[in-house]
Amino acid sequence: MLRTALVLHGSAMLYEIAIAAEVFGVDRSELSPTATWYDLVVCTADGAAHPWLPHLTTTSYDGIARADTVLVPSCDDLADNPDPTLLDALRAAHDRGARIASLCTGAFVLAAAGVLDGRVATTHWMHADDLARRYPQVDVRPDVLYVDEGDVLTSAGKTAALDLCLHLVRRDLGAAAANGIARRLVVPAHRSGGQAQFITPPATPRNPDGLAPALEWARARLDQPLTVRDLAGRANLSTRQLARRMRAELQLGPLDWLHHQRIARARELLERTDAPIDRVAVSSGMGTAATLRRHFHRALGVTPTAYRATFRL
């Protein structure tokens, strides 16, 4: 049995806890080539069974010392200071070679314990900047689903936690076991960690009376050739003024903004229409299907066809 500890800290959230319990807490040894599965133990501060998981074996944080893998779910209060006893237990587990994984904002707990120091990590994109600001010694990547650094793993938000859990099963027991769980949960069998979080890029400037009319004009013409000069003229600015304003208000230069908008338009068309890929390319201003595939894969880590298969409404 693979000894696994699920840590229920003070601000743990139900969704990620349920994901971990579903993947690791249900005996599916029939899917394993070695007929073994995970021995999941819930670890709480006082050792009392949690009402969310009354059927699972429960112990105190001391149980972390006996686990091969430690799972830390997300936090609903990022300002909350984690229990020092928990942080000590996580550090000790890491020092003795246990594998530690955080789900969503559980990365904040790992960072507080120092487990992420000098490492690449991710968390929910809405909180990535906060994680990087509070823990500058962590190399935070906001645009991936999960990061596997061998003995330390972190996942992005919500359903990316399931991707990470399936990835752990794939590592431990093989693709057949992970795919078997995915079929039972009716989810995609595998999304690579490097695949981008599907984040909608910022579209509206903070100063709606300034650039917004020009940007709306450009959005209505994404299928046409557009230049920085075109945008600047519409905004009654020089190209240099436009670039300065857009970087201040959108954190993007004009060409980057246009590229983001074209990718966003392609995503919308892939989700909401059955238009062929070459038509999506023309309508989003990418020109050809080959150009769309290249830029789409670079931006999101998947092909347009794979994206449509996942997100088609």
Per-residue pLDDT of the chain (313 residues), as tens digits, is 799 999 999 889 999 999 999 999 999 999 987 888 999 999 999 999 988 899 999 999 999 999 999 999 999 888 778 899 999 999 999 999 999 999 999 999 999 999 999 999 999 999 999 999 999 999 999 888 899 999 999 999 888 999 999 999 988 988 788 888 988 888 766 666 666 666 555 555 544 457 888 998 999 999 999 999 999 999 999 999 999 998 888 778 999 999 989 998 998 898 888 999 999 999 999 999 999 999 999 888 889 998 888 766 4
Residue 97 maps to a domain: yes
Residue 199 maps to a domain: no
Residue 179 maps to a domain: yes
Q: What is the CATH number of the domain that holds 95?
A: 3.40.50.880
pLDDT for the residue 58? 96
- Statement to judge: residues 171 and 241 lie in one domain: no
Cβ-proximal residues to 13 (8 Å cutoff; 6+ apart), any chain: 73, 74, 75, 76, 104
Where is the domain boundary, 185, 220, 241? 185
The torsion defined by the Cα of 128, 133, 138 and 144, in degrees rounded to 10, comes to 20
Predicted TM-score of the model (pTM): 0.71
- Statement to judge: residues 178 and 216 lie in one domain: no
pLDDT for the residue 154? 97
Q: Which is it for the CA torsion 150, 5, 160, 9, positive or negative?
A: negative
Quote the CA–CA distance of 249 and 264 in Å, as a whole number: 19
pLDDT for the residue 190? 62
- Statement to judge: residues 139 and 278 lie in one domain: no
Cα angle 283-286-291, degrees, rounded to a multiple of 5? 135
Q: What is the CATH number of the domain that holds 257?
A: 1.10.10.60
- Statement to judge: residues 31 and 115 lie in one domain: yes
- Statement to judge: residues 242 and 304 lie in one domain: yes
Residue 196 maps to a domain: no
Residue 147 maps to a domain: yes
- Statement to judge: residues 104 and 248 lie in one domain: no
- Statement to judge: residues 14 and 135 lie in one domain: yes
Residue 75 maps to a domain: yes
- Statement to judge: residues 178 and 140 lie in one domain: yes
Instruction: Count how many domains the chain has.
Output: 2
Residue 197 maps to a domain: no
- Statement to judge: residues 132 and 8 lie in one domain: yes
Residue 92 maps to a domain: yes
- Statement to judge: residues 93 and 177 lie in one domain: yes
- Statement to judge: residues 22 and 125 lie in one domain: yes
- Statement to judge: residues 180 and 221 lie in one domain: no
Domain that includes residue 36, residue range: 2-185
